[in-house]
């Protein structure tokens, strides 16, 4: 007997499931449970969770806080952007706006900081290169990350959330200085 697409196939779904199919359903279910268990497991043991603190903030208030931060710790300028070197342990404020990241940050390797990220206009994406670090930068929220830079060097901040015509030019910079002890010895500069 042959069927066309017009004839419905014989309705057999109420008959007992074939043994092989039962086995496959069991395997699929067991695998779902494994993946389900991975979520809490990865949260607790994965070591990849951001150390975030999140606050609501008015975009204008955040911009004002960034300006204060820049005035307090500014050490120079680079490509018309303020360069800021906050002391170890301090709160560091980075502002994403169409289409720049301000300020340029100079941080010390080995020191801990709380890095605040927020936007004053639309969503941006904080992507630190060449590290594999990605965070959403959202207007109205101050996202504070506890960070400890390890490797001295220059890092670029790329915007990885499409934010308009200047998106591809939205590049910022973080300079990680050698640990204070090393600098004092005159090495590794």
117 lies in the site for ligand CUA, by CB under 6 A: no
Name the minimum Å distance from CB 2 to ligand CUA: 57
CA distance 34 to 14: 30
Please give the backbone phi and psi of residue 167, each rounded to the nearest 5 degrees, phi first: -50, -45
Of the pair 167, 173, the CB lying nearest ligand CUA is at 167
What's the Cα-to-Cα distance from 68 to each of 50, 151, 155, 167, rounded to whole Å? 26, 28, 24, 26
Query: Considering CB under 6 A, how many residues would be counted as binding ligand CUA?
Result: 9
Of the pair 96, 177, the CB lying nearest ligand CUA is at 96
Sign of dihedral through CA atoms 58, 145, 78, 87? positive
Longest Cα pair distance anywhere in the chain, in angstroms?
A: 90
Looking at residues 141 to 180 of the shown chain, list those that interact with ligand CUA (rule: CB under 6 A). 159, 161-163, 167, 170
Query: x-or-dash pattern for ligand CUA, window 40-59, by CB under 6 A?
Result: --------------------
Tokens 């609501």 -> residue: 56
Name the minimum Å distance from CB 75 to ligand CUA: 25
Question: Which spans of this chain sit near ligand CUA (rule: CB under 6 A)?
Answer: 96, 99, 124, 159, 161-163, 167, 170
């Amino acid at each position: 007997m042959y069927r066309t697409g017009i004839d419905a196939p014989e309705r057999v779904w109420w008959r007992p499931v074939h043994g092989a199919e039962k086995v496959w359903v069991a395997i699929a279910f067991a695998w779902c449970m494994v993946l389900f268990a991975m979520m809490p497991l990865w949260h607790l043991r994965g070591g990849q969770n951001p150390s975030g603190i999140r606050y609501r903030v008015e975009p204008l208030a955040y911009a004002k806080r960034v300006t204060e931060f820049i005035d307090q710790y500014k050490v120079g300028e680079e490509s018309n952007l303020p360069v800021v070197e906050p002391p170890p342990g301090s709160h560091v404020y980075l502002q994403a706006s169409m289409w720049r990241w301000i300020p340029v940050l100079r941080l010390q390797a080995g020191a801990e900081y709380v890095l605040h990220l927020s936007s004053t206009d639309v969503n941006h994406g904080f992507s630190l290169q060449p590290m594999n670090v990605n965070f959403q930068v959202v207007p109205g929220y101050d996202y504070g990350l506890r960070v400890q830079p390890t490797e001295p060097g220059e890092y670029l901040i790329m915007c990885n959330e499409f934010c308009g015509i200047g998106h591809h030019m939205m590049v910022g910079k973080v300079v990680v200085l050698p640990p204070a002890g090393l600098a004092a010895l005159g090495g590794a500069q």
